Chains A and B, each alone.
Chain A
Amino acid sequence: MTAPILSIKGVRKAFGSHVVLDDLSLDVHPHQVICLIGASGSGKSTLLRCIDLLDEVDDGVIELDGREITDPRLDANAIRARIGMVFQAYNLFGHLRVLDNLTLAPRLVHKVPRAEAVERARAALARVGLAGKENAFPDELSGGQQQRVAIARALVTDPAVILLDEVTSALDPELVGEVLELLAELKSTGLTMVIATHEMGFAREVADEVCFLHDGRIHERGTAAQVLDEPREQRTRDFLRRLHG
């Protein structure tokens, strides 16, 4: 097997006395799609935020491409520039048109000339099936379209890994499908993704590996079929049973 692109080793994160991540370890290999499942508050989002250095870990190491990124001596912005992040609530910049949302980071952070940035942005938009929406403002789009723009915004800088934080939780049910379809499509192009999700059907379909988080630890990890259909751990069984009513 290839070397992991992302390696999380013994990470701990607490907010006050509440321990959110407890000695958590996880390897992500290139072209792998990993789905994190677990109840609200199990630490899925915090893990993603720690990987993108939006939160500082309290202990442990995160490595990107074999190099530690949790060292406070490093330039956090340069590291974030190599990681894509998609948020639950899209977090598009409301004052910018779709195209400008996509060209912002390439131009400011990656110093791509404007013409080339526009070209890449158009390509990314086409990739998420939104060619022609370049001049729309985010609030003129549906929730599903906005989230697809947000995914394109993460894609456009060609990151080593893309983190997706419950990207369908804020969507109406009929709009969930288009986003999940897009993610399945992107998987086939070889992207590396870590996805926190409540959509078990989706996890079953796209995940190379499913991790069940509880109280800041990975309690069970394996293929989607194994974790979701034949869970070994009692906690996983309890969680899945509650989910299915």
Chain B
Amino acid sequence: MSGVREDVAGADRPGPSAAPWTPSDRQVARDAYRRSQTRRSTWVALVSTLVITVLAVLGVRATPGWPRVKESFFNASVARASLPKVAEGLWLNIRVMVVCAVLIVIVALLLALARTVRGPAFFPLRALATGYIDVFRGLPLILVLLLVGFGLPGLRLRGIPTDAVQLGALALVLCYSAYVAEVFRAGIESVHPSQVAAARALGLTRGQSLRHVVLPQAVRRVVPPLLNDLVSLSKDSGLISILGAVDAVRAAQIETAKFANFTPYVVAGVLFVLITIPLTRFTDWLARRSGWLAAQGGLPGAAIR
């Protein structure tokens, strides 16, 4: 791995001031050895992956019930027939997820800030935020969904939505913002006090320090756990189906009933996985590209052999 990288670096490396550098025979041999090690690791990875996959497939197929399970869970024609409806449902999940994610980040940031403001005058604000977080982190999401979904419309207040999707989204925001607020707070508190001292020394106000110095660093630090919550949210968006919204889970349920076959559930599962994997890779890429990890004191890569 590193041998290859060094070769690339070496290729365009102009020599020191005078004579250009050509690697010694010994170094050429070392580089060749490192390259061969890299090739070997790649082969080992390929072969072991192949062996494990084959064993897993054979193992499953050898079970006595496999033909029946295959027919009722992995039926290709049912998968094709149910895909449009399930995908249509998934589109609702995606929209709910995006809207909720934006709202959650905003509410959570406000909650986190409310928990970190100092001064006795802000005690009610702090207490309120703390209480909110305590309650909504403790309540099971499904209970909040049921209470909001069936309880709120029951109040018959003007302006309160009666749509299952909107109520479900509201419940998601209520619960998730409590979690995410704590993630933000951990990030804010992890920024070293010396950073605030430096900002205040420059004459920035408390608010300016927070906005321009603390928050940018805090947010970068918590991107990985935030993404974790986003992936979690993408799946929990399926829970709004219990209020009657026709999302991917509900659509799969309907299709399952229609075909008397469980394949639509598998289809929905595959689709959910397909949207979460790119999300994870995207954040990894984002973090590396911006050198965020290095800026946070982490060593770039695992450089030490």
Determine if B13 and A17 form an interchain contact, defined as CB atoms under 8 angstroms apart. yes
Contact size range, B:
20 to 34
Contact call A59/B305, Cβ cutoff below 8 A? no
Residues of chain B contacted by A70 (CB below 8 angstroms):
30
Q: A19-B16, A22-B16, A59-B23 are in contact. Are A72 and B9 (CB under 8 A)?
A: no
Contact indicator B2/A56 (Cβ below 8 Å): yes
Residue in B10, B12, B30, B304 whose beta carbon sits within 8 Å of that of A72 in the complex: B30
**Interfacial residues of chain B within 20-53, with CB under 8 A of chain A in the complex:** 21, 23-24, 26-27, 30, 33-34, 37
CA A172 to CA B216, docked complex, whole Å: 31
Q: A54-B304, A58-B27, A59-B23 are in contact. Are A72 and B3 (CB under 8 A)?
A: yes
Closest CB of chain A to B288's CB: distance in Å?
Answer: 18
Complex: how many Å from CA A12 to CA B30? 14
Main secondary structure of the interface of A (DSSP, over half): loop
Do A14 and B30 touch (CB < 8 A)?
A: no
Which residues from 259 to 305 on chain B have a C-beta closer than 8 Å to any C-beta of chain A?
Answer: 303-305
5 more CB-based (< 8 A) A-B contacts, given A14-B10, A19-B13, A58-B23: A14-B13, A17-B12, A61-B26, A72-B3, A216-B16
A73 at the binding interface (Cβ < 8 Å): yes
Q: Is the CB–CB distance between A59 and B37 below 8 Å? A: no
CA distance A17 to B17 in the complex (A): 11
A12-B21, A72-B30, A76-B305 known; A56+B6 contact, CB < 8 A: yes
Q: A71 touching B30 by the CB < 8 A rule?
A: yes
| Cα of A54 to Cα of B14 in the assembled complex, Å | 24
The number of chain A residues with a CB under 8 A from chain B is: 22
A184 CB–B CB distance under 8 Å: no
What 10 A-B pairs are tightest by C-beta distance, nearest first?
Answer: A59-B27, A19-B16, A22-B16, A17-B13, A76-B305, A59-B24, A72-B34, A72-B33, A72-B30, A59-B23
A132 at the interface (CB under 8 A from B): no
Interface of chain A residues 67 through 82 with chain B (CB within 8 A): 70-73, 76
B contact residues around A22 at 8 Å (CB): 16
